[in-house]
Structure 1
Amino acid sequence: MDSGDTSKYFQSTCKRLAESFFNTSCEALAKNLLGKVLARRLNDGCIIKGRIVETESYLGGEDAASQSYGNKVTPRNEPMFMSPGTAYVYFTYGMYHCFNISSQGEGAAVLLRALEPLENLERMTELRKRYRKSPKTTLKTKDLCNGPAKLCISLAIDIETCNRQNLISWDGMWLEDDGQDDLCKTIVAAPRIGINCEKKWQNKLLRFYIHDNPYVSKIEKAKMEFMQLP
């Protein structure tokens, strides 16, 4: 049994992803994460779940769009250099969090961009509404987690609680395989969003999402490739 399966909060109907799953190249992890389930246990014991439908890979090293470009280690990006399966949460625009998972390779990590909500949607909605100007406005399910910041808000993912945590063993958040791989046989590869660096890296197809999934943050209509997962 994988060491991650020992968590008392883990549901035996699904398989918790072990170290071997994360110990792969950044691009491979970004693709393999599609269709997997992200589970987040809140302080009161409530477990929120969503299926990963969109990711971006940041390769480190020569990747000019990566926070670890040139293999530069800082107090902020240090989790990108930690063992595969480490959570890297950072603050952006002075108000939002983004959640990444480290992979194989120095300074390489995968950004989670969007989830399809699966369990405890009411709690997700409650968390999201705390950050809305008009909390009484109806919030559609497809808008709960269709973006990296929305995803973090809806699952209460922040630096203080989640950064540097080992997703292989931590009881607060983990990844599951629920056997629904048939949901993402066809994926789309497209340029990453909001990248401001040399065009070579702006145009690389390092964003991946499940084809025809309505929970994706942005559907590419120009530069893109369709890929078949094994």
Structure 2
Amino acid sequence: MKDNQKGFTLVELMIAMAMTGIVVAIIYSAYDLQTKIYTEQDKTADMQQNIRAALVFLQREARMAGYNPTRSNHASCNRPGETDAVSPGIHTATATTLGFSMDLDEDGDCDGTGENVTYSIYTASDGLQKLGRAAPTTNQAIAENITNIDFVYLFKPPLMGSPASDPPTATPATDQLDEIVAAQITVLAQALEEDRSAPTTLTFTAPFPDAWGQLVDGAGTQWGPFSDSRRRRLMTTSVNFRNMGLK
């Protein structure tokens, strides 16, 4: 009786195993690549969401700077180093710090909760740089991994074509604080972790407006170059101080 049963030789099994290994390796490599891409995109999305949330929060509160329904002057609204009673308004205006007061509870002073706030970058106990909101002194983190901030202050614009008596500046004088009507705010955020696919060297330039709000090329603050393989995002917004410059 003739045996017609057939099987695989050792060579055939080895070839099949090798081919299977190659296919699995290709599938795993594609999966690993897609996972890394998704992870990096997720980190970038988190960073962008973080920076947007920070700017929206700051912008919304800063619109109330100088709110003074009772038209009162009070010592609690004063500026650093001064003791005179003044009306609510901007009390600190530098390139990296914005502080303002407002009479939210309409009782004639700036002593209420959240009526005197200051925004700036600070380094927290965990070593992360954050956008902080001090009200009035203890910093509350508004957003993490915000490494740089730039404020440019604008005054009432002159007629188009006329010279600007008070051009935009990041360092207004004390006697200019009551005349500020708007600010351009630029923040730079970085990813928490390194990314091997990130550009090796980056330099960022904050935009700078002229007296009419048009941008001047190359006139803003520069940050970098950075070479730490971290992704970064620059974002700019503006806020109109609707209660300022009404005198």
Same-fold call, TM cutoff 0.5: no
Q: Which has the larger radius of gyration?
A: 2
Higher relative contact order (CA 8 A, sep 6+): 1
What TM-score, normalized by structure 1, do the two folds share?
Answer: 0.25
